[in-house]
Structure 1
Amino acid sequence: MKEFLDYTLIEYDNFNFKVYTLLEIIVVFFIVKLLLYIIKTGITKSTRFDVAKKYSVYQLIKYFAYVITAVTFFHIIGFNVSYLLLGSSALLVGLGFGLQNLFSDFISGIILLIDSSVKVDDVIEVDGLVGKVVQIDFRTTMVVTRDDKYIIVPNTDLTKNQLVNWTHNDILSRFEIKVGVSYNSDVNVVIKLLKEATLSHKDVEKKPEPIIRFSDFGESSLDFTILFWSNEVFRIENIKSDIRIKIFDLFNENTIEIPFPQRVVHSPK
């Protein structure tokens, strides 16, 4: 058995990679995977954190474990990590200048995971792009848009640019729909129908109650604005569409006209 364990698999100059070295690496690998599984299970069952924070905590622990594992592998093989880093310091300085953006993304990833300003399942808006956070890695964050397109966003873009987090504190978000009706419409009836259409949707919050504003006397219509609150931020455009359809049906039932823009064209004499 000892002869088998001492059998040299790779030999180069003073470097000897033996069977027992390979077995040590395999054992360490499986121990780390087992520990990560136990930690993940414990974090998942914990009731102290929400889903997003559980993800962040586990990601930080996993990356830390990977670093320790890599150092351990070097030690088992026989490399002195301190000498390796010292000998390659000049190279690392050169790489540092060339990979500034990459390092910046890594630091930004750590910041996002620690301070939880952006979490998994948050609905965010960056540079006009609205998406739900699917995964946060050290370098990039994956978001899915309302068109179900997956976009990879560098973490630096989430920390240095102005960012709107629609679901940061689980507070209801307010949205609006604009509607115009003809000048011969009964304003009180219009307000009643708009509120009825809005409250009929299951994803519109009943408290606070939707607000109907008579916004303005338009060029060809009386303009109203519906203000309502909802938790369904990501699919809000679908909710608005459903409400508009309901408004259209109620207007037809009550002979409320939505006017076409009117233009007067004068022909030259």
Structure 2
Amino acid sequence: MERFAERIRAVLAWSVHFAGADVSVADALVAALALAAAYALARVARRVLERRLGSHVNLTPNARFLILRSTTVAILCVGAVAALNILQIRLTGLAVTFGFLSVGIGFGLQNITSNFVSGIILLFERPVRVGDLITVGDSLGRVEAIGIRSTLLRTADNVELIIPNSQFIEQTVTNWTYRDKSVRVHVLVGVAYGSDTQLVVRLLLDLARAHPLALQEPEPAVQLTTFGESSLDFALLVWIPDPAQRPDVVSDLNFAIDATFREHGVEIPFPQRDMRVISADS
């Protein structure tokens, strides 16, 4: 037993020189325990805060997320500093060590670093918040969570998209709910040449005013946009209170326009082409 104990003590006393300090196996184990304790404390604190903050009606989802994220990061940072103190590693020596390492792996970590910095910018500047309806590239969805590396987006089809944070900084992002949730919907329709345009305008406005989701202030409007090849092209402009309702409102108005135009004899044309065939003999 004594020989076994001596071997254990020898293993625990074995050390390596790292970042200007002699780090033993025993110190490394204690530092690992400190990190594990910090991680466990961060999870417990997050759960407690989630229960406490859930009862505060005045807090927005984005404010709750920022408080939870900041608390978790702060506890983990304290644990990391404690682990470094246990290992007796000076930050200056660590910076020099990682400075040499960064030369070799810097190019490979460019994307990770870019996403990390972009995540910090998103959390502090808040151009995108939890609960916002946004469009990034070809993706439209509601923001579920903003992490350090990526952002979780949920589409209308309940598909979860994990988007790197750098895309929010490098690309144009459409935030449909940034300051004002009300948006204007464009419903396009064409009628045959020779149709009564005043009747078309009246029918379209009546349909817009009758829709339960359409706002009456600002008032709906109708514009004659272009003289098309086969039709007079109109745009019905309707304001709605929530951009998430846009697909349903457009669909409802399209169905209503088709039924109303049929009832009043307004023709919705389709493209036509006249072809003349000239024989070679003639």
Q: TM-score, normalised by structure 2?
A: 0.78
Q: 1:193 aligned to 2:199?
A: no
What is the rounded CA distance, in whole Å, between the counterparts of 1:113 and 1:175 in structure 2?
31
Q: 1:79 aligned to 2:78?
A: no
Secondary structure of 1:135's match? strand
Change (3 A) 1:34 1:143: closer
2:253 equivalent in structure 1: 243
What is the rounded CA distance, in whole Å, between the counterparts of 1:9 and 1:113 in structure 2?
47
Amino acid corresponding to residue 38 of structure 1 in structure 2: V
What is the rounded CA distance, in whole Å, between the counterparts of 1:73 and 1:172 in structure 2?
51
What is the rounded CA distance, in whole Å, between the counterparts of 1:246 and 1:238 in structure 2?
12
Q: 1:56 aligned to 2:66?
A: yes
What is the rounded CA distance, in whole Å, between the counterparts of 1:255 and 1:10 in structure 2?
97
Secondary structure of 1:16's match? helix
Amino acid corresponding to residue 248 of structure 1 in structure 2: D
Within the candidate set 226, 229, 236, 1:219 is matched to 229
The 8 Å contact of residues 135 and 173 in structure 2, kept in 1 or not, is answered as yes
Secondary structure of 2:26's match? strand
The residue correspondences of 1:141-180 to structure 2 (distance < 5 A) are 141-180=151-190
Q: TM-score, normalised by structure 1?
A: 0.81
Q: How many residues align?
A: 260
Structure 1 unaligned runs (5+)? Answer: 1-7
Within the candidate set 103, 106, 109, 2:113 is matched to 103
What is the rounded CA distance, in whole Å, between the counterparts of 1:9 and 1:31 in structure 2?
30
What is the rounded CA distance, in whole Å, between the counterparts of 2:30 and 2:106 in structure 1?
37
1:5 equivalent in structure 2: none
What is the rounded CA distance, in whole Å, between the counterparts of 1:150 and 1:120 in structure 2?
14
Change (3 A) 1:194 1:147: same
Within the candidate set 210, 220, 223, 2:220 is matched to 210
What is the rounded CA distance, in whole Å, between the counterparts of 2:10 and 2:271 in structure 1?
82
The 8 Å contact of residues 185 and 238 in structure 2, kept in 1 or not, is answered as yes
- Which structure has the larger Rg? 2
Identity percentage of aligned residues: 29
Secondary structure of 1:169's match? coil
- How far is 1:22 from its partner? 9.0
The 8 Å contact of residues 212 and 226 in structure 1, kept in 2 or not, is answered as yes
Amino acid corresponding to residue 82 of structure 1 in structure 2: R
CA RMSD of aligned residues (A): 3.1
